[in-house]
A and B are shown apart, each in its own frame.
Chain A
Amino acid sequence: MAVTVKLPTILRKFAGNEARVAAEGATLGEVLKDLESRYPGVTKNVLADGGGLHRFINVYVNDEDVRYLGSLETPTSDGDVVSILPAVAGGA
């Protein structure tokens, strides 16, 4: 189950400055675990202390927000693209 993970700029330093890296796993949680084993530190701020996804990080599998798919249990398949996207927001 090889998927591509797109990293935000600040996390690329953990992965040899690559914007896209490969990882394996049948669920998003497994993919992130595999990613961490390949590039230690890369998921530290993506996962919250309790183990779920950090509140201010949006994670997409292809074009779908994983919050609506099962969060870390979201299934991943060969060729999927996982995007890690820190939230940008505000208001008047």
Chain B
Amino acid sequence: MPELDGVLYKEIVEQALREFPNECCGVVAANGHGRPAKIFPARNIDASTATYRIDPIDLMRIQDEIDAEDWRVWAFFHSHTHSEAYPSRTDREQASHAQDWYPGVRYLIVSLTDREQPELRSFFMLDGNVEEEELSIA
């Protein structure tokens, strides 16, 4: 089972809370050992409570940093501020357009329906289908 360091988990949750009620988004990079190593927050150019789009300028900068370290994109993350931590129809549609560009990437969704107890879950999405992945937060 893949493991997400508690410090990285906390960074995602804190960003989600900071950007509430809008959705937040970003990238988790894996190091040379394939382990998630760094959170890259990105700007949600939709600035919306219901959708996100990673600012391409941020994605450009993040990809440059990932390339410089010889790392790779491990996951994209975003928050659901008013719904459960499960891919929406929009999530599934958008992921189907991105799947050929980011093969094997997972999507982490953090739900803030209960802001006292955020919930983070991990999913693979392929051709509109959802497969949840058990993720250990250590």
- Residues of chain A touching chain B, judged by Cβ–Cβ distance below 8 Å, are 6, 8-10, 19, 45, 56, 58, 60, 63, 65, 83, 85-92
Contact = CB atoms under 8 A, between A and B. Distances in A.
B94 interface: yes
A87 B50 contact: no
B51 interface: yes
Contacts of B91: 90-91
A49 B27 CA distance: 30
Interface in B62-93: 63-64, 67, 72-73, 76, 78, 80-83, 87-88, 90-91
Contacts of A65: 56
A6 B67 CA distance: 11
Interface string B30-74: 000000000000000010111111101101100110010000110
9 contacts: A9-B73, A56-B98, A56-B101, A60-B57, A87-B54, A88-B94, A89-B51, A89-B52, A91-B91
Nearest to B66: A9
Given A9-B73, A60-B60, A88 B54 contact: yes
Nearest to A56: B97
B96 to A, nearest CB: 10
Given A6-B60, A60-B60, A63-B57, A89 B101 contact: no
A91 B90 contact: yes
